[in-house]
Amino acid sequence: MAGGHLRRVAARLGLTLASLALTLASLELAARLLTPSFLVQEREGVFASLLPLVNGRSAEIQVLQLGPPLPVAAEAGELRVATFGESSMEGAPWGHAASPATQLGGLLAGALPGRRVTVLNLGRTSSFALDTWYYLVGTARYRPDVVVFYLGMNDRYDLDREACLPATHPTLHGAWRWMVERSRLLWLTRVYLPRLAGGPGSGADVTGSEREQPLRCDPDRAFQAWTDVLVETATRHGARVVVATPVFSCLAPLDRDFAGAHRGVAPGEALASADGPYRRALACLLAAGCDLGAVDLGPDGLGGLVEAGLRVVAAAASPALVKPPDELRGAAWKRSAAAFGATLVDFAAALRAISPGHRLGPPHLVDSVHLSPTAYGLLARQVARAILDGQRSGPGAATGPVASLPDGAGEPVLAVQDPTEVALTYARARQFLTAAILAGQPAAAANPRARLLLGWLRRGLGGPSGLDAADEAGLEDFAAGAGLVRGAASPAR
């Protein structure tokens, strides 16, 4: 009797497990057959990603036009280059036309005449290294010949729990990665579910109380674990890997600290109260031929003040932290490149070498981490040279001619987005240093609102606006309409 009961239970259990296995197999087959195409042509030779953020944050996808999807199989002799990164790889705040990925495509196409070059731009605003890993896995079926990584300034370890797992539970996370790489169903679920179900910061960028969440792990250890995972995965998939060290503006802590100290204060009132090093730095940026290195910003100069600010920014990571974030993140990439045989492009060092006073900041950095179109061109040129060196020799070398890149700045950037509205957003947030740098960029020169913003900033510091009589007469209306004075209606964005 008992034996018969056990047999019936075993039969039911077996049937249940078989049904579950059949269901999962059917779902897996459907996922493989019906996975949506997420790489669409944006311009000749450049494809952009439509993937959402895996980490649950919200950020608008910047693809401006939807062309045909990327074919899974490459043409004979086609060179496919997949570029991964954050908003800088997308080209913020100028749009995809100025992005390193777009400029890289132009450089490679010019240097490889007669060969089809396809660049896959998988840069994503507000992404973390964990997002990049899922994008990398999803891109594997397109078999890129070269994978480029330029990221490391966004990662946080107080939101999505997976951000810490490669460091805190490497074996467990390794097993999870093994399954995701082999199951399209798991990949689809992890990539799209946070946006569908809501996750940390879904529906709005992380602000307010979410910034005060305790860290779940040590950021330096976790980021190093992720760079190792990314480079190892791309190498194992058969791609040549190029990693570029990230950058961080020397003025960012000064701007962020001022904005934080004036939270809730109307922008115009905050500007009028600016004093000390912040006021002197802003006055310099608003003057022609500004040399921040020559400005008296305190007893230790700009370097000392910024170093103190950087300690505050990164204090949660380690009490002993004294290096700027770009150096810490860059060191992680250097170690991973050496460990897995990737090509290193020390972009931070190259940009520092051509920057005033060898400090990373204006005019090349227009805010904390985003670059001018010309500086994005420098990044693209350095990466292109690394790729072309591999095309001249080694496995997978080009059979056709490989031209040398001409010296000078990056390829001409056409139709970049005007940065004026971005500058006004920063001004409303009381980050006036960034607003001045953006409004003073050549791409904003022809925009009357950029001219008025610069005039408003100059006059707010107590000096002449530098505007003609007509612009001066409309300055108050401009400030009110732009939301720069108390009581003004919030402008449409």
- Going by C-alpha positions, the residue among 123, 327, 345, 130 that lies closest to residue 223 is 130
The CA-based angle 421-426-432, given to 5 degrees, is: 120
Q: Is the pLDDT of residue 83 over 70?
A: yes
What pLDDT shows up at residue 315? 39
Question: Does the pLDDT at position 472 exceed 50?
Answer: yes
Cβ proximity of 465 and 286 under 8 Å: no
pLDDT of residue 38: 87
At 31 the pLDDT is: 63
Least Cα distance to 27 among 37, 19, 38 occurs for: 19
Distance from C-alpha of 404 to C-alpha of 335, rounded to nearest angstrom: 29
Query: If pLDDT is split at 50, 70 and 90, which confidence band does 123 have?
Result: very high
User: Could you read off the pLDDT of 354-370 as tens digits, one per residue?
Assistant: 887 777 888 899 988 99
Residue 196: per-residue pLDDT: 72
Phi-psi region of 263 (alpha: psi -120 to 50; beta: other; left: phi over 0): beta
More confident residue, 429 or 325: 429
Across the range 151-156, mean pLDDT stands at 90
Residue 229: φ, ψ to 5°:
-60, -45
Residue 307's pLDDT band, with cuts at 50, 70 and 90, is very low
Residue pLDDT, tens place only, 18-40: 766 777 666 667 766 777 788 99
For the entire predicted model, the pTM comes to 0.85
Of the ranges 56-70, 90-104, 336-350, 394-408, which one carries the lowest mean pLDDT score? 394-408
Residue 323 in 3-state DSSP?
A: coil
Smallest CA-to-CA distance from 253 within 297, 299, 221 is with 297
Name, of 102-116, 301-315, 330-344, the range with top average pLDDT. Answer: 330-344
Higher pLDDT pick, 176 / 249 = 176
**What is residue 171's predicted lDDT score, i.e. its pLDDT?**
97
The confidence score (pLDDT) of residue 340 equals: 97
Question: Which residues lie below 8 Å from residue 112, measured CB to CB, with a gap of 6+?
Answer: 79, 388, 391, 398, 400, 401, 402, 403
Give the CATH class of 39-250+324-392.
alpha beta
pLDDT at 270: 94
